[in-house]
Amino acid sequence: MKLRIVTPATLAVALALTASACGGGGGTSAQPSGDGKSFEFWSFTGINQKASVEDYQKQNPGVQVKLTEVGSSVETAQALTTALAGGKVPDLVLIQGDDLPKFVQQPQNFHDLRPMGADKIKGDYLDWVMSQSTAAAGEIIGIPTDVGGMAVAYRTDLFKEAGLPTDREEVGKLWPTWDAFIETGKKYTAKTGKAFVDNAGTSVFYQAVNQGPQKYYDPSGNVVYSTSPQVKTAFDLGLKAIQAGITAKQSSFTDGWSASMGKDRFAVIAAPSWMLGAIRSNAPDTKGKWDIATIPGGAGNWGGSYLAIPKGAANPKAAWDYITKTQSPQAQLDHFADSGSLPTTPSVYKDPKLTGLKDPFFSDAPTGTIYTNSLLGLKPFRIGPDSSAIGQEFINAITNVEQGKGDPAQAWTTALANIKTAIGK
């Protein structure tokens, strides 16, 4: 799913939780009994995994799931790394897409899901998504739960006040490119005196960098973040948005960002499919004031996660049952209708339940069509073992400039130096 900002305090909490074998915190029932039905599940926060677990338990009486929401997606991956090195591992874990490659490089730490039945169902999922959880020797260590087709959510009432069109088709025509998006923001801010977009790091840079055929790694797996034209162009767009004075300087997933969403502090936010739930929960009183338009550039993917079973799991069969019952094409379609998690199963992309879905919170936007269309023109890029760390440092550098703590002229150089320190290359 999403990239999350990590602080030393929250990371310490995640690691302490790991050391204590993940007791408490978000649990939905008692400890697994070892009866082959019950299991322990680690997830990250912010995606309401508890609702999915509760639905599963209702449909499977007698099964106990001990759910622990460890922290952000990055913190969950950190906690899993620590557990694999000698701690008590869960039976099932949710791993965000950018964090997955480093685990795929160590497939011996996970159950190969092929003997359990992954070979029979792998064709149900998008090829390029499934390939990311497949190791060099063919082991499948994860089943995809969702993808993050991209779009832009905007406030129709605020657009009307600024004299901008409010119809989603017309709004999409305002920004065929990111430069046009920034120019639209300048018009909005000049008219209203208010910020146009929440921030430059995730709503501009991180969207643009996720739209091309090559990101931080080339197709062969070589690190190219420092020489990739796609990355540099996206980074410069982030700085350009800051210099245009159109951002609210609210970093994604912070308390201030969540609070600002319902207080008219910005009119636009990058909205991959899973973001819609965050908007609903953070700004419930804005129902009917939002709509959804095409992302500049037309296509892209931000996010996506996988369910994996660590090798030391005490109840792997119970964990696999959860995977198969909650991630089938029909189940993913149901998840999308309930929560906006975009299916990774293309067989449902023409299902009337998806194509006909309209979201009343977002002015009856046809979310199924908008988000699947954003994937159709996507050219998948290689995700590497350090993609998450690389992306975080680029966002940090842009955020520092946005907050007045960094020099825009030195931001690129600073980001490259910090990345080299973080990953050693």
Do both 277 and 405 map to the same domain? yes
Residues 6+ apart with CB under 8 A from 112: 139, 140, 141
Domain count along the chain:
2
325: three-class secondary structure by DSSP: helix
DSSP 3-state of 268: strand
pLDDT the model gives residue 339: 76
Q: Could you tell me if 88 and 107 lie in one domain?
A: yes
Inside any domain, residue 1: no
Q: Are residues 114 and 191 in the same domain?
A: no
Order of all β-strands in the sheet with 92-96? 65-69, 39-43, 92-96, 301-308, 143-149
What's the one-letter identity of residue 23? G
- Domain co-membership, 339 together with 416: no
Predicted local distance difference test score (pLDDT) of residue 8: 37
183 and 140 within one domain = no
Domain assignment present for residue 129? The answer is yes
| pLDDT reported for residue 253 | 85
The CATH number assigned to the domain holding 178 equals 3.40.190.10
Q: How far apart are CA 71 and CA 43, in angstroms?
A: 8
Residues 66 and 165 in one domain: no
Same domain, 378 and 346: no
Residues 6+ apart with CB under 8 A from 89: 80, 83, 310, 311, 312, 313
Q: With respect to residue 336, please indicate whether it lies within any of the assigned structural domains.
A: yes
Does residue 413 sit in the same domain as residue 282? Answer: yes
| Per-position pLDDT tens, the chain of length 425 | 444 444 333 444 344 444 444 443 444 444 454 566 899 999 988 777 888 999 999 999 989 999 999 988 889 999 999 999 987 999 999 999 999 999 999 999 999 999 999 999 999 999 999 999 999 999 999 999 999 899 999 999 999 999 999 999 999 999 999 999 999 999 999 999 999 999 999 999 999 999 988 899 999 999 999 999 999 999 999 999 999 999 999 999 888 999 999 999 999 999 998 888 889 989 999 999 999 999 999 988 888 899 999 999 999 999 999 999 999 999 999 988 877 789 999 999 999 999 999 999 999 999 999 999 888 767 788 899 999 899 999 999 999 999 999 999 999 999 999 999 999 98
Q: Where are the alpha helices (DSSP H) in 220-302?
A: 229-243, 255-260, 275-282
Q: Same structural domain for residues 181 and 102? A: no
As to burial, measured by CB atoms within 10 angstroms (0-12 exposed, 13-18 middle, 19+ buried), residue 407 is: exposed
Structure tokens at 256: 């201030």
pLDDT at 257: 94
Q: Flag whether 309 is in a domain.
A: yes
271 and 349 share a domain? no
- Are the C-beta atoms of 109 and 311 separated by less than 8 Å? yes
Q: How confident is the model at residue 4, as a pLDDT?
A: 43
Whether 6 and 75 have beta carbons less than 8 Å apart is answered as: yes
Q: Give, for 317, the enclosing helix (H) or strand (E).
A: helix 316-326
107 lies in the same domain as 21: yes
The answer as to whether 343 is a domain residue is: yes
Does 96 reside within a domain?
Answer: yes
Instruction: Determine the structural domain holding residue 204 and report its residue range.
Output: 149-302+360-423
Residues 6+ apart with CB under 8 A from 358: 364, 365, 366, 367
- Asked whether residue 3 is domain-assigned, the answer is no
Alpha helices in 26-118 (DSSP H): 49-59, 73-84, 100-104
CA distance 31 to 10: 24
Q: Decide if 287 is inside a domain.
A: yes
pTM value is: 0.85
Question: Does 387 lie in the same domain as 397?
Answer: yes
